[in-house]
Amino acid sequence: MNDGVRAGRARSSVDQEDAVLPPPQLIDRERLEADARQLDVTWRDPGGLWGWLTTVDHKSIAKRYIITAFLMFIAGGIQAAMIRMQLALPENNLLGPDRYNQIFTTHGTTMMFLFAVPIMNAMGLYFVPLMVGARTIAFPRLNAFGYYAYLVGVVFLYVSLFLNTGPDAGWTAYVPLAGPQFSPGHRVDVWAQVVTFTEIAALAAAVNIIVTALKMRAPGMSLNRIPLFVWAQLVVSFMIVFAMPAVATASTLMLAADRAVSTHWFNPAEGGDSLLWQHVFWFFGHPEVYIIFLPGLGMVTPIVETFCRRRVFGYDALVLANITTGFFSFGLWVHHMFATPIPELGQSLFTAASMLIAIPTGIQIFCWIATMWSGRPRLTTPMLFVLGFLFTFVIGGLTGVMLASVTFDKQAHDTFFVVSHLHYVLLGGAVMPLFGAFYFWFPKVTGRLLSETLGKWNVWLFVIGVNVAFFPMHILGLNGMPRRIYTYLAETGWGPLNLLATAGAVVIVVSVVIFIVNVAVSWRGGALAGPNPWASSGLEWATTSPAPSYNFVHTPVVLGRHPLWDSVGPFPVITGLRTDRREVLVTTVFDARPDHRHKEPDASIWPFVLSLAMGVTWIGSIFTPWAVPTGFAMTLLVMLGWGWQSSRVTDVERVETEDRLVEAE
């Protein structure tokens, strides 16, 4: 009921515009085609290698981002498979402790820092502008810079691993083990700097998504009409802004300084504190989990809506659940430290907070189930992935509630029970929706549908594989198996369940191989999708598949939460943006009323050069602290170059009255 009132008010604001403007009119095909031709000339990036390095098209960058991050998923998966092979039998000799420690640390580092966060960011960088009806992202050059910074981190970690310098102190790098005394050499330095690159990339993406979602929405898309995927991305971006500086401080300033210039932040012998690391790390590390799976939950909503052909139940509740989860996630970090000497009263507080966060997550699940009951779910591959998500993620959520209990957590902490829990949450809560999203939005990116037959194999094997691989680990943990051990004695009796877990891992590998085959075959040979193959409701389906470099010929106007389901007849658009230069429409934060026109930058090589300069600085700092001042000077020069060029071309114009609201065919 509320909804109707709000929609009415929004509509009247559009009416007010109409009072000043000439009446709406239909755009004829000729005008449409002429505009499209001109826009293509303006927005298309130059071809060739130069064009490839200088492009600032958010879709090209995000596509590279997604592909790189998926390659990292495969790399991390290969490491996972090696871990499972080693643990399949007691006292196995496949990997020695030195190699095993590098492999499990690189697995965690890759999956958390180089796969999960980047791929969720990248999905946002690709789809947020399309979903809010924008021509591009807010800061296209910053976006390109973020990707190259991330790429430098990826290359650096893997070159190091192949040079036998892979990090080996765990992805959490607890001191003093990761400190200079117990981890001499450069292995932990590599970890600390890889984290730096991903922090910078994540911050760049977060700032971009926040501004795009708040300032570049199509006219009429007031805050209460933002698609839930965009809400999730917005909340997560704010979380990144608050969480990433903590790990940046911990790894880049404190740990790296302890290791490179002998500060003693974490050295108790010199007045430092070895527990401080855990506080600062988990202040980032716990929100990190939600940074990974909130976007996953954001992907579930459009899939459920589309395949149940129902507006999602409880939009307001879902938005509030997202926001409260974001807030609460910063108040849970101590539940990773229940086994340390923390006052008991403090522990109780964190127990309560950790249980509390189950409530918003529960509400979201109830809302999706209510939506499914009111509609008729079509069991396509994306929808099956959502069902797999519900089946798997709920187990991870419930074990999470169990782990919130201090007394039980002290039994389960740092055992395979926790390994199982975190994989249930991340594979169930983030990766399954992500695969669903791949099937759902693949046609928007490539113009072709993925094969449903292969998709069904993919989803069934994945859900079965994950559960067979990880469920036994709950029992192993309770049976005393600590995590991060490279082998175990036969007398512990952990052999059979470990073998079963390895069998599950094999099933996961087969499933992912099927997905890769599906992508390889369908990229060129899949069925043509057309603009909106699923009859879905979001703005991203209002343009061609794949979307052109300028996203939309004319900026759409939004009349409700489900633009393509709400408008009957001609689709309303706004004109008046110049087509001869890269101009975008900036709208107000709350009501998305047109505010001004903004010129976005053209293609540029500077983001690439800056990321290289930064790479040299951070990587050099491992070997000599003098790399930092030298690198600063070098980076400053590059930034001058960057600023010099763009200062000539940025300008802003108020929206003028001649801009007209018109309806296209």
Partner 1 sequence: MMRSRLALVILLAACSGRQNALDPASAQNRSITALFWAMFVVAAFIWFVVTVAFLVPAVRQRRTTREDAEPALELPAETSRRQTRLVSGATAVTVLILLVFLIYDFGVGRALATHPARALTIELVGHQWWWEVHYADPDPSKIVIDADELHVPVGQSVQIKLVSRDVIHSFWVPNLIGKRDLIPGYTSSIFFTADRPGVYRAQCAEFCGHQHAKMALDVVAHPAPEFSAWLERQRAPAADPSDSLAANGKRVFLSAACSKCHAITGVEAYGTVGPNLTHLATRRTLAAGTLPNTRGNLGGWIVDPQSIKPGARMPSNQLESRDLVALLAYLETLK
Binding residues for partner 1 restricted to 54-113, rule: CB under 8 A: 96-98, 101
Question: Residue 653 Cβ, how far from partner 1 at the closest point, in Å?
Answer: 39
Residue placing its CB nearer to partner 1 in the complex, 212 or 392? 392
Letters for 230-259 (x = contact with partner 1 by CB under 8 A, - = none) are ------------------------------
Q: Which two tokens stand for residue 175?
A: 């001191």
Give the DSSP H/E element, type plus range, for residue 65.
Answer: helix 58-87
Kindly state whether residue 480 participates in binding partner 1, applying the rule CB under 8 A.
yes
Burial of 624 (0-12, 13-18, 19+ CB in 10 A): exposed
**Using CB under 8 A, which residues numbered 202 to 221 contact partner 1?**
none
- Least CB distance to partner 1 at residue 176 (A): 5
Q: Which stretch binds partner 1 (CB under 8 A): 8-16, 143-151, 388-396, 421-429?
A: 388-396
Of residues 103 and 586, the one with the C-beta less far from partner 1? 103
* Binders in 129-148 for partner 1, by CB under 8 A: none
Distance of CA 190 to the CA centre of its chain: 23
Of 231 and 416, CB closest to partner 1? 416
**SS3 call for 66:** helix
Could you give the angle at which helices 58-87 and 97-109 cross, rounded to 10 degrees? 150
Q: Of the two residues 151 and 426, which places its CB atom closer to partner 1 in the complex?
A: 426
Chosen residue from 82, 355, 499, 521 binding partner 1 by CB under 8 A: 355
DSSP state of 219: T
If the CB atoms of residues 196 and 415 are measured against partner 1, the closer one turns out to be 415
Phi-psi region of 601 (alpha: psi -120 to 50; beta: other; left: phi over 0): beta
Widest pairwise Cα distance in the chain = 84
For partner 1, the binding residue among 32, 78, 394, 605 (CB under 8 A) is 394
**Which of these segments, 32-40, 57-65, 356-364, 423-431, binds partner 1 (CB under 8 A)?**
356-364
> Does residue 311 interact with partner 1 by CB under 8 A?
yes
Query: How many Å apart are CA 56 and CA 208, to the nearest integer?
Result: 13
661-664 and 594-599 beta bridge pairing: unpaired
Per rule CB under 8 A, is residue 314 in the interface with partner 1?
A: yes
Q: Distance between CA atoms of 525 and 547, rounded to whole angstroms?
A: 19
Q: How far is the CB of 96 from partner 1 (least distance, A)?
A: 6
- Per rule CB under 8 A, is residue 375 in the interface with partner 1? yes
**Residue 51 or 482 with smaller CB distance to partner 1:** 482
> In angstroms, rounded to a whole number, what is the distance separating the alpha carbons of residues 365 and 49?
46
Tally the residues of the chain: 665
Q: Is 366 in the site for partner 1 (CB under 8 A)?
A: yes
Nearer to partner 1, 397 or 465 (CB): 397
Find the shortest distance in angstroms from Cβ 22 to partner 1.
33
Binding partner 1 (rule: CB under 8 A), the pick from 374, 453, 624, 650 is: 374
User: How far lies 558's CA from each of 131, 217, 322, 441, in Å?
Assistant: 11, 9, 23, 21
Collect contacts of 471-476 with beta carbons under 8 A, ≥24 apart.
471/395, 471/420, 472/497, 472/498, 472/500, 472/501, 472/504, 473/416, 473/417, 473/419, 473/420, 473/423, 473/497, 473/501, 474/399, 474/416, 474/417, 474/420, 474/421, 476/415, 476/416, 476/417, 476/420, 476/501
Which of 197, 488, 515, 552 touches partner 1 (CB under 8 A)?
488
| Token pair in block for residue 647 | 């200062």
Residue 397: how many other CB atoms lie within 10 Å? 19
Measured CA to CA, the distance from residue 292 to residue 290 in angstroms comes to 5
Instruction: Please check whether residue 529 is in contact with residue 449, taking contact to mean a CB–CB distance below 8 angstroms.
Output: yes
In whole angstroms, how close is the CB of 65 to partner 1 at the nearest point? 31
Segment interacting with partner 1, rule: CB under 8 A, options 76-84, 193-201, 441-449, 485-493: 485-493
Give the containing element (helix H, strand E) for 653: strand 652-654
**Cβ proximity to partner 1, 41 vs 359, nearer residue:** 359
Among 50, 52, 182, 590, binds partner 1 (CB under 8 A): 182
Q: Are 634 and 584 contacting, i.e. CB atoms less than 8 angstroms apart? A: no
660 binds partner 1 (CB under 8 A): no
Rounded least distance, CB 540 to partner 1, Å: 19
Question: Does residue 358 interact with partner 1 by CB under 8 A?
Answer: yes
Choose between 208 and 467: whose C-beta lies nearer to partner 1.
Answer: 467
Site for partner 1 in 155-174 (CB under 8 A): 169-170, 174
Taking the CB of residue 286, how many other CB atoms lie within 10 A of it?
A: 23
Q: Are 279 and 266 in contact (CB under 8 A)?
A: no
Q: How far is the CB of 340 from partner 1 (least distance, A)?
A: 5
Q: For the chain, give me the number of helices (H) and strands (E)?
A: 23, 7
Interface of this chain with partner 1, residues 545 to 574, rule: CB under 8 A: 565
Rounded CA separation 211/137 (Å): 8
Map residues 400-439 to x or -, x wherever contact with partner 1 holds by CB under 8 A. Answer: -xx-xxxxxxxxxxxx------------------------
Position among 16, 25, 164, 340 found at the interface with partner 1 (CB under 8 A): 340
Give whichever of 404 and 468 is closer to partner 1, judged by the CB atom: 404
Instruction: With contacts defined by CB under 8 A, name the span among 196-204, 471-479, 522-530, 628-636 that binds partner 1.
Output: 471-479
Query: Of residues 35, 273, 452, 591, which one binds partner 1 by CB under 8 A?
Result: 273
Q: How far is the CB of 387 from partner 1 (least distance, A)?
A: 6
Query: Is 370 an interacting residue with respect to partner 1 (CB under 8 A)?
Result: yes
Site size with partner 1, rule: CB under 8 A: 86
**Shortest distance, CB of residue 365 to partner 1, whole angstroms?**
7
Selected binder of partner 1 within 347, 381, 549, 621 (CB under 8 A): 347
Instruction: Residue 560: name the closest of 127, 1, 4 by CA.
Output: 4
Report if residue 228 touches partner 1, rule: CB under 8 A: no
